[in-house]
Structure 1
Amino acid sequence: MDRPSYGYSAADAPPPQGPTGGPSEQPVCPRHPDRVSYVRCKRCDRPACPDCQRPTDVGVLCVDCERELARQQASTRPRTAMGGRMGRGAPVVTYTLIALNVLVFVGQTLAPQIVEQLGIFAPFRALAMPWTFLTAGFLHGGVLHLALNMYALWIMGQYLERTLGPARYAALFLVSVLGGHTAVYVIADPMGYSWLTGTVGASGGVFGLFAAAFIVGRRMGGQVAQIGVLIALNLLITFTVPNISWQGHLGGLVLGAALTAGMYALRPKASPGADRQALARRSALVHGALVVAAVLLCAVLVAVKTLLVLGG
């Protein structure tokens, strides 16, 4: 029985040359014709010199076959519904976000004047301290506030990090935090108390995760009634309990929903025989562009609000 060549065969190699330029019976490496090699690739049966040999559990492969197998394995690797790389093991991004929130809260406890003054978001100074559009999402007003947000982040984060992929999930959370504080800035009355009021909490990001979980569940054919009720209850609390930034919650919810819906709508569709690696790269570029567009939208809204305030 003939050995399968997988696109290669010993006949692909140039005829071995002897010292006088004539045919030789000594096998030579196709990549290095001046090197004699009696070791053959287990996959394509071509000679491979020591520099081109790649030891594996099933024998020696040549460098070309190793690369081809790596490409084939990458093209068949499981991917998320968004086309991202499937997360493995623990939800590292969720752990990291929770740890950052806890560490910042410890900093608030030990040095409140420094941490809060540098990180809290307030519309009147937002342009002078633009980093607060994000850093305020890691500050909290107390242990209960922190615990509720971290519990919601833990529940939603584990599910979405596996479904969206770590990078898209992290981008969604941060964009939702940005959207929440952008809404606070845009809606705040420059002549009112809200313009001077500080805002803290990861709630904008959490509401963005709520919206994403609802959209992902609907698109994947899952039951989303519980998530819908959860969103409704949280919105009810937002608008009825005093001292809660409904603007931040609503902004995170809307921008998180828009970003997730856009990712689903614009993700490349795989067809039989398609190059899945190329589709994954295209998906990453498209979704990266959506994240950039969401950030630019927030910047434009802030700029428009600023012009209106300066114009009286």
Structure 2
Amino acid sequence: MNNAFNRGGFGLGSGPSLSTLFSRRRIAASWRNGGAVVTGGIIVACVLIWLVEIALRVFAPNALNAMLSNTVFIPVYAVSRPWIFLSAMFLHATNLLHVLFNMLTLWSIGPVLEKMMGHWRFLTLYVLAGLGGGVGMMVWSVFSPSGWVTASYGASGALFGLFAAVLIVFRRIGADIRSMSIWIGINVLMPLVVPGIAWQAHAGGFVIGGLLTWLLVSGVPALRKTSFARRMWIYASAVFVLLLAVALLCNTQNPLSSLTY
């Protein structure tokens, strides 16, 4: 892929150091050297928002409820409040397990893809996979009406998109995927053990992350010789339009679609 995906640096668990996360000089150096700057930024943002949630739960529970009511993803409000597709990706339950498990997972796989793809292209993959998680919830709601009022939040949809991307790339280059398979297996089995996990968002993120990555490594033959950056722009735009179309199509079945919010 025009050297965008190469055989170097595939060890899992090689996340950014804490010093890199908080030193401006080291952040700049890490950015130039292909370090996990975006991965670290997402982790910091998620943790800071989680700390705000904890503080509000203790000192201002009404404010927490108000915040969550406008930021968690609920399919019935997805089209009228489009920002919840994005905001829900940075929210986590006010318990340590949810945010800790998701951030450890991101810490383990994010740097691999960010180094291979580049900072902005990795962020594009992450965001589109997260949006795919929301659309996955909407698709499920079409077939299960109770899903329209099911709230979901967390980074898991985006993370499953990264899982799909790593699997496709590793298979393409013939790399060892055993350690990655363990992480994926744990995440796939989690909904069977822990109640209340939105597996529909996992599925949506996995499909979108896998689709975008497959297009990048294979895709339209006429585009295979173009630059990786150009292919990412073209395919990411196409995937975004697909997500928008599916969301709008699903919303035609929204029980509140005839109302003005």
TM-score higher than 0.5: yes
Match of 2:103 among 104, 127, 150: 150
Distance 1:190 1:114, change over 3 A: farther
Find the aligned partners of 2:169 and 2:144 in 1 and give their Cα distance: 40
Q: State the partner residue of 1:177.
A: 130
The alignment status of 1:138 with 2:83, answered yes or no, reads no
Partners of 1:258 and 1:189 lie apart in 2 by 22
Cα distance, 1:238 vs structure 2: 2.6
Residue number in structure 2 paired with 1:289: 234
* Counterpart secondary structure, 1:188: helix
Q: Are the equivalent residues in 1 in contact too, given 2:34–2:119 (CA < 8 A)? A: no
Given residue 91 of structure 1, which amino acid in structure 2 is its aligned partner? A
1:252 aligns with 2:205: yes
SS at structure 1 position matched to 2:252 = helix
Determine which structure has more spread, i.e. the larger CA radius of gyration: 1
Structure 1 residue 116 corresponds to structure 2 residue 61: no
Choose the corresponding residue for 2:77, options 121, 125, 150.
125
Cα offset for 1:113?
A: 2.6
| Correspondence list, 1:213-252, <5 A | 213-252=166-205
State the Cα distance separating 1:100 from its structure 2 match.
Answer: 1.1
Flag structure 1 segments of 5+ consecutive residues without an equivalent.
Answer: 1-77, 270-278
C-alpha spacing 1:89/1:299, structure 2 compared with 1 (3 Å) = closer
The structure with the greater share of residues assigned to helix is 2
CA distance in 2, matches of 1:103, 1:171: 22
Query: Which of 143, 149, 155 is 1:202 aligned to?
Result: 155
- How many pairs were matched up? 221
1-side partners of 2:51 and 2:194: how far apart?
Answer: 26
Q: Deviations for 1:161-202, whole angstroms, at most 9, x for unmatched residues? A: 111111111111101100011110121158743221210100
Stretch of structure 1 that moved more, 257-266 or 145-154: 257-266
Report the TM-score when normalising by structure 2.
0.77
Q: Are 1:87 and 1:161, in contact at CA under 8 Å, matched by a contact in 2?
A: no
Look up the match of 1:80: 4
- The separation in 2 between residues aligned to 1:221 and 1:114, in whole angstroms, is 49
Q: Which amino acid aligns with 1:96?
A: G
C-alpha distance in 1 between matches for 2:49 and 2:244 = 26
Superposition deviation, residue 231 in structure 1: 2.0
Deviation of 1:126 after TM superposition, in Å, equals 1.4
Question: Which SS does the other structure have where 1:176 is aligned?
Answer: helix
Counterpart contact for 2:72–2:91, Cα < 8 Å:
yes
Structure 1 residues 26-45: Cα deviation after superposition (integer angstroms, max 9, x where no partner) = xxxxxxxxxxxxxxxxxxxx
Secondary structure at the counterpart of residue 246 of structure 2: helix
1-side partners of 2:70 and 2:206: how far apart? 26
Q: Distance in 2 between matches of 1:97 and 1:201?
A: 12
Which amino acid in structure 1 is aligned with residue 249 of structure 2? Answer: V
**Which of 265, 286, 298 is matched with 2:243 structurally?**
298
Q: Is the 8 A contact 1:107 1:115 kept in 2?
A: no
> In 2, distance between residues paired with 1:241 and 1:107?
24
- State the Cα RMSD in Å: 2.4
1:161 and 2:161 equivalent? no
Structure 2: which amino acid aligns with 1:93? V
Match of 1:222, SS state, is: coil
1:92 matched to 2:45? The reply is no
Q: Match for residue 10 of structure 2?
A: none
C-alpha distance in 1 between matches for 2:98 and 2:208: 22
Check whether the contact 1:120–1:139 (CA below 8 A) recurs between aligned residues.
yes
SS, match of residue 81 in structure 1: coil
Q: d(CA) in 2 for partners of 1:250 and 1:218? A: 20
List gaps (5 residues or longer) in structure 2. Answer: 7-30, 57-63
Aligned counterparts of 2:76 and 2:233: Cα–Cα separation in 1: 31
Larger relative contact order (C-alpha < 8 A, sep ≥ 6)?
2
Give the Cα separation in 2 of the matches to 1:258 and 1:299. 15
**Using the alignment, how far apart are the partners of 2:237 and 2:252 within structure 1?**
22
Specify the SS of the correspondent of 2:231. helix
- CA positional deviation for 1:265: 1.1
